[in-house]
Amino acid sequence: MKINELRTTIRSILEKQDELNKKYTGDNWRKVVPVEKFEVALFTEVAEFFESCPKQWKWWKPYLENDVQNLYIEVVDVLHFGASICLQVKSVDEIVNGTHGLSEEGESIIKRQSRFLTTRNINDLLLLLEEMCNYAGLEYDKIFEIYAQKHKLNEDRIAGGYMKGEYEKVKDGQEDNRAIKVD
């Protein structure tokens, strides 16, 4: 993805994430939700990512298969919470203008996560996402397409009473995330 295209994509994601956060918590979401809550959410999504790709790390169970569908969802969830973290400390324009793309050598997901949580910088978030995709054999550019689907699902959840506990995430034995197309 070229840098101008990446910046356009990042701007769109940040604007959508800001609007979604406003729907969840109100226009003042940056003051209402401490950044630490987003950090814990991101940390948890990374852990769920690892649970979805046991083939990569459970060497004692070589017969396990990865859940590719859920891997993409977890990476997109990291993008959701990471974008919120970035928005806690900078404006959309500051974040977009500071986006320079990917160019660093690979590091572990844990190191990348730690660096992002320290810097709260969009480039470190993008590197974390790239490393997660590399680790699990996912297509990096696909996560931006899947983000749009997950964003729509989150809006539907809110409209369906998610914040009041009225929304049913599991229908006919399937979690609603399973309707997101990753192929």
Smallest CA-to-CA distance from 87 within 142, 11, 156, 150 is with 11
Position 15 scores a pLDDT of: 97
pLDDT of 171 reads 86
Q: Where are the beta strands (DSSP E) in 72-156?
A: none
* Cβ–Cβ under 8 Å, residues 70 and 143: no
Output the pLDDT for position 3. Answer: 80
Question: SS3 sequence, 147-175?
Answer: HHHHHHHHHHHHHCCHHHCCCCCEECCEE
What pTM was computed for the model?
Answer: 0.94
Measuring CA to CA, which residue among 118, 123, 131 is closest to residue 94?
A: 123
C-alpha distances (whole Å) from 142 to each of 9, 64, 121, 129, 172 are: 12, 24, 21, 11, 27
Name the residue among 21, 11, 44 with its Cα closest to residue 122. 11
- Bridge partners, residue 49, by sequence: none
| Helix, coil or strand: residue 29 | helix
In this prediction, residues 116-127 reach a mean pLDDT of 94
Residue found by looking up tokens 């990753």 in the block:
182
Task: Write the pLDDT tens digit of every residue in 128-144.
Answer: 999 999 999 999 999 99
Look up the CATH number of domain 3-179: 1.10.4010.10
> What is the per-residue pLDDT for 94?
94
Half-sphere exposure for 26 (CA within 13 Å, toward CB)? 4
Q: Would you list the domain boundaries of the chain? A: 3-179
- Over its C-alpha atoms, the chain yields an Rg (Å, rounded) of 16
